[in-house]
A and B are shown apart, each in its own frame.
Chain A
């Protein structure tokens, strides 16, 4: 395809084509990556940070200022004389009154009742009697009426705590925030009951499944590809056919089998049934078939046993296939969910695996989405890392074997 670019004239059309190709790919890439980026930053947020609108990317925490040894949350507060200032809140839930100018209805003052002098007079607004007060605005006395009660906060200037406080209703103030990463979230989620244990359980189960699958698949693949015996092709066809059978059909009988032999609710039930795989056998067989016979002939003449030939000659040659199969079985074992869900009791936090613990966490901890996301990031690290390391083998193989399967 590289030949194209040299042959085609660099007209504006080809530039547009190239540019739009990149643009579309980039948009698709962004759509794919945005949830991961959000999860990554979300895992560093405080729980409260999730409940603000509009949602934000970066983790924010409320800024504070220390006055007399007390941490006051900072807010941007509108000042009565106009403009705004960053002030610390010393009281929330102060009961305030909303005063409105008698002559000038655009004048609105929100302040405690004591800040204005009652005049004893009454005005009628919209058919209701309202008390009239005298308030000081810009050093001049103005007549205002008491419209209604409001709840707000009392704010002071942290640099000048003794200056008269400012009052404002909560909807008028904006919290002052700064970006801060809550790295402690990860420690917290690892400390949650069962999470650390399910992480190590998943590692153990995955290792055992990968090693077991690779071992049985190599043996089976070797038998199918290099040894002639009666019924071989028929059994191979049976294996091929079994790849198409959805696991759903096996859920109930396999569950009953595990219960019957006393393996229910154990990690063994997550390992042993999955060590034998038709797909892996198929993959290894396809690879072994492509290895030329000449390579083993010398060893055969030396009188080496088949076992030796398999492990000394075939195995080293099939590293790409083994890498693909290992990646497949790693991802399968690490991410498997339905089977652990039914075979592991929900109360068994010591026998759980990551996918299961995550789903429980995601359902239970609606008020701590930060910990859920930290757990998600932890659970995703290993599969994504393995995929990136092995993708050279993996992506190509999905393409070729997928079409055959």
Chain B
């Protein structure tokens, strides 16, 4: 990587139009220093207004802005001081301070211009201009097709391409290009960009002074950051190549990392914290310690239902009396999901294993089936569930009709009490079978995915094993049980664990099957932990307790994942 700094003179002289933006380095560094002083003063002014209580704000934004302003003062003063001393660290300190301030200001400008709402306005325009957009997409597909044909024709072996064919392909490309141009123009025109711009201008003029300040500061910060990043600055500050590399690493990672912290790590920590509070989302949270967890998990044993402490309901009879729970619905959801796991996981895994073996027989065309089996996993849970909802209709659904038809066939061959025809099982309304309907839909949509995982696992089995066994006269059954199955141990464990983890988060299927009935319909027979969490958090506004349920579920899932990891590692060590 040292090659980059090997020839410093190559980039030190600015070219043509960028001369204005690239003044002599000493001048540029002086300007950056001036900016840091100005920024420190600006942050100081904000801090003055906050801590002097000149701006009347709520406590949370007040604290946040106060901290940000203080950090801003310290960081900018430090950068200015380092820069004034000509320290080696000045370059990166100044760059980091300016880069982070830049991102902060972009976010603030985004909020100030209410760009979040602007996307909805844009979506309306996008909707109005959808047809030319489709035209553009078709034209692009056309062009790709033309390119592929051209690439095929150019493929050496076909030197006898008739001129007419070549001309047709060239024509196709031109048609594609013209179509893209035309449709893009129509699209742009139909989007009414002026309308959209005027919307932006409206939100800009809401707080014009503030927005102008943001825009100006963003421009300056951008210039300062680029100046400090530039190679000539790196040369001036003698930044070694490995430092340059690690700075580039952080810069490349930064968009991803900032998003990760803001939308993943931050909320995760918040979720854990809030699970120790009682919070309705409106009034301020009250700390309850482990209260939410105890309220959710609480179990107790008593001689009879009457002897249970207050707040406990009996959920299960036992030889010694009854078991009471402080949250019977939670335990109902756990018992439902356990039954679901027992039924759905075998349904999603065992057929997958069998089918994977059949696909790997290598007969002609079996790979096509792998693609077909995969389709339910990509088609979208809601759509798939709605199809099944129609098929599971108790009176006119295909499932009951099919069962009735099978019963009719049985009645022909088996004497005795005839099986009922037609069958009217209330798959969606009868509490005793409602969970089976969910099992059916889940198993159907998951086994194809698992088949693919199994086939991948089988590709890792050395062929020699099978060949040697065949020479020893082992039949295909023998080979399946003695070679395939043991070699697939790790894969099987992975498939089972990932299916269990997916099944534990069951929500979409249940929700779509039950609409418009309340979740958990009928009679809480399909109440799963996530459905319960949804009920708590988004229908009863019990955010603290819902977070506790989320973490209990998370711990359950995480321990399974850990188990899987340890199994895999042990397996890897064995082999």
Candidates B114, B124, B246, B382; contact of A335 at CB < 8 Å: B382
B255 at the interface (CB under 8 A from A): yes
Q: Tell me which residues across on chain B come within 8 A of A235, comparing CB atoms.
A: 253, 257
B417 at the interface (CB under 8 A from A): no
Q: Tell me which residues across on chain B come within 8 A of A268, comparing CB atoms.
A: 115-117, 119-120
Q: Tell me which residues across on chain A come within 8 A of B361, comparing CB atoms.
A: 1, 4, 17-18, 21
- Nearest residue (CB) in B for A268 is B116
B381 touches A253 (CB 8 A): no
Assembled-state Cα–Cα distance A124/B247 (Å): 108
Q: Tell me which residues across on chain B come within 8 A of A229, comparing CB atoms.
A: 245-247, 249-250
A252 touches B543 (CB 8 A): yes
* Given A281-B256, A384-B375, A399-B456, A232 and B249 contact (CB-CB distance below 8 Å): yes
Candidates A251, A253, A263, A402; contact of B453 at CB < 8 Å: A402
Assembled-state Cα–Cα distance A51/B504 (Å): 36
B259 touches A275 (CB 8 A): yes
A380 touches B260 (CB 8 A): no
* Given A32-B448, A391-B374, A22 and B123 contact (CB-CB distance below 8 Å): no
Assembled-state Cα–Cα distance A50/B390 (Å): 9
B320 at the interface (CB under 8 A from A): no
A155 at the interface (CB under 8 A from B): no
B515 touches A25 (CB 8 A): no
Q: Tell me which residues across on chain A come within 8 A of B250, comparing CB atoms.
A: 223, 229
B355 touches A28 (CB 8 A): yes
A223 touches B375 (CB 8 A): no
A29 touches B246 (CB 8 A): no
Min CB gap B507→A, angstroms:
6
Q: Tell me which residues across on chain A come within 8 A of B504, comparing CB atoms.
A: 246
Q: Tell me which residues across on chain B come within 8 A of A52, comparing CB atoms.
A: 396
B120 touches A383 (CB 8 A): no
- Nearest residue (CB) in A for B376 is A32
Q: Tell me which residues across on chain A come within 8 A of B508, comparing CB atoms.
A: 337-338
A227 touches B248 (CB 8 A): yes
A276 at the interface (CB under 8 A from B): yes
A35 touches B388 (CB 8 A): yes
* Given A33-B372, A335-B380, A359-B515, A21 and B256 contact (CB-CB distance below 8 Å): no
* Given A52-B396, A252-B274, A362-B515, A219 and B252 contact (CB-CB distance below 8 Å): yes
B557 touches A380 (CB 8 A): no
Assembled-state Cα–Cα distance A35/B247 (Å): 54
B442 at the interface (CB under 8 A from A): no
Assembled-state Cα–Cα distance A364/B395 (Å): 19
Assembled-state Cα–Cα distance A239/B257 (Å): 9
- Nearest residue (CB) in B for A338 is B507
Of B82-90, B218-226, B326-334, B545-553, the one contacting chain A is: B545-553
Enumerate A337-355 residues with CB–CB distance to B below 8 Å.
337-338, 341-342, 350-351, 354-355
Q: Tell me which residues across on chain A come within 8 A of B63, comparing CB atoms.
A: none
B553 touches A248 (CB 8 A): yes
Assembled-state Cα–Cα distance A5/B366 (Å): 14
A53 touches B123 (CB 8 A): no
Q: Tell me which residues across on chain B come within 8 A of A220, comparing CB atoms.
A: 252-253, 255-257
Report which residue of A216, A269, A301 has the largest number of chain B beta carbons within 10 angstroms of its beta carbon: A216
Assembled-state Cα–Cα distance A219/B363 (Å): 43
* Given A201-B123, A338-B507, A400-B456, A228 and B249 contact (CB-CB distance below 8 Å): yes
A216 touches B259 (CB 8 A): yes
Enumerate B527-560 residues with CB–CB distance to A below 8 Å.
530, 533-534, 537-538, 543, 546-547, 550-551, 553-554, 557-558
* Given A31-B444, A342-B538, A362-B386, A248 and B511 contact (CB-CB distance below 8 Å): no
* Binary contact readout A15-48 vs B (1 if CB under 8 angstroms, 0 otherwise): 0011001101100110111111011001000000
* Given A29-B369, A252-B274, A379 and B396 contact (CB-CB distance below 8 Å): no
* Given A200-B126, A200-B127, A268-B115, A395 and B457 contact (CB-CB distance below 8 Å): no
B209 at the interface (CB under 8 A from A): no
Assembled-state Cα–Cα distance A364/B517 (Å): 10
B27 at the interface (CB under 8 A from A): no
A204 touches B126 (CB 8 A): yes
* Given A25-B366, A53-B395, A268-B119, A246 and B505 contact (CB-CB distance below 8 Å): yes
Of B2-10, B153-161, B200-208, the one contacting chain A is: B2-10
Enumerate B255-270 residues with CB–CB distance to A below 8 Å.
255-257, 259-260, 263-268, 270
* Binary contact readout A250-274 vs B (1 if CB under 8 angstroms, 0 otherwise): 1111111101011100111101110
* Given A337-B508, A373-B386, A227 and B130 contact (CB-CB distance below 8 Å): no
B387 touches A1 (CB 8 A): no
Assembled-state Cα–Cα distance A119/B352 (Å): 76
A276 touches B259 (CB 8 A): yes
Q: Tell me which residues across on chain A come within 8 A of B126, comparing CB atoms.
A: 200, 203-204
Min CB gap B558→A, angstroms:
7
A29 touches B372 (CB 8 A): yes
Assembled-state Cα–Cα distance A219/B250 (Å): 10
Min CB gap B298→A, angstroms:
21
B355 touches A249 (CB 8 A): no
A245 touches B268 (CB 8 A): yes
Q: Tell me which residues across on chain B come within 8 A of A341, comparing CB atoms.
A: 511
B374 touches A387 (CB 8 A): yes
B13 at the interface (CB under 8 A from A): no
Q: Tell me which residues across on chain A come within 8 A of B274, comparing CB atoms.
A: 252-253, 256
Assembled-state Cα–Cα distance A390/B382 (Å): 22
Candidates A29, A239, A369; contact of B260 at CB < 8 Å: A239
- Nearest residue (CB) in B for A247 is B505
Assembled-state Cα–Cα distance A261/B359 (Å): 51
B360 at the interface (CB under 8 A from A): yes
Q: Tell me which residues across on chain A come within 8 A of B444, comparing CB atoms.
A: 31-32, 35
- Nearest residue (CB) in B for A306 is B248
Assembled-state Cα–Cα distance A330/B255 (Å): 21
* Given A55-B401, A262-B116, A337-B508, A249 and B271 contact (CB-CB distance below 8 Å): yes
Q: Tell me which residues across on chain A come within 8 A of B135, comparing CB atoms.
A: none
Enumerate B50-100 residues with CB–CB distance to A below 8 Å.
none
A376 at the interface (CB under 8 A from B): yes
B303 at the interface (CB under 8 A from A): no
Q: Tell me which residues across on chain B come within 8 A of A306, comparing CB atoms.
A: 248, 252
A83 at the interface (CB under 8 A from B): no
Q: Tell me which residues across on chain A come within 8 A of B537, comparing CB atoms.
A: 251-252, 255
B551 touches A249 (CB 8 A): yes
Candidates B119, B360, B391; contact of A271 at CB < 8 Å: B119
Enumerate A50-88 residues with CB–CB distance to B below 8 Å.
50-55
- Nearest residue (CB) in A for B546 is A252
A358 at the interface (CB under 8 A from B): yes
B183 at the interface (CB under 8 A from A): no
* Given A244-B558, A252-B271, A362 and B3 contact (CB-CB distance below 8 Å): no
Assembled-state Cα–Cα distance A399/B459 (Å): 10
Q: Tell me which residues across on chain A come within 8 A of B1, comparing CB atoms.
A: 300
Q: Tell me which residues across on chain B come within 8 A of A342, comparing CB atoms.
A: 534, 538
12 more A-B residue pairs beyond the given contacts A350-B124, A384-B379, with a C-beta to C-beta distance below 8 A: A25-B358, A55-B396, A248-B550, A276-B260, A303-B7, A337-B382, A359-B382, A363-B516, A376-B386, A383-B379, A398-B449, A398-B453
Which residues does A use to contact B, with CB under 8 Å?
A: 1-2, 4-5, 17-18, 21-22, 24-25, 28-29, 31-36, 38-39, 42, 50-55, 196-197, 200-201, 203-204, 215-217, 219-220, 222-224, 227-230, 232, 235, 238-239, 242, 244-257, 259, 261-263, 266-269, 271-273, 275-276, 278, 281, 300-301, 303, 305-306, 310, 331, 334-335, 337-338, 341-342, 350-351, 354-355, 358-360, 362-364, 369, 372-373, 376, 379-380, 383-384, 386-388, 391, 395-396, 398-400, 402-403
Q: List 26 A-B contacts (CB under 8 A).
A: A4-B361, A21-B363, A29-B369, A32-B375, A219-B252, A223-B248, A229-B250, A249-B554, A253-B267, A262-B114, A266-B120, A267-B119, A269-B116, A275-B259, A276-B256, A300-B1, A310-B252, A337-B508, A337-B511, A355-B382, A384-B378, A395-B371, A395-B452, A396-B456, A398-B453, A399-B455
Which 7 pairs show the lowest CB-CB distances between chains A and B?
A363-B515, A1-B362, A276-B259, A399-B456, A227-B249, A229-B246, A253-B267
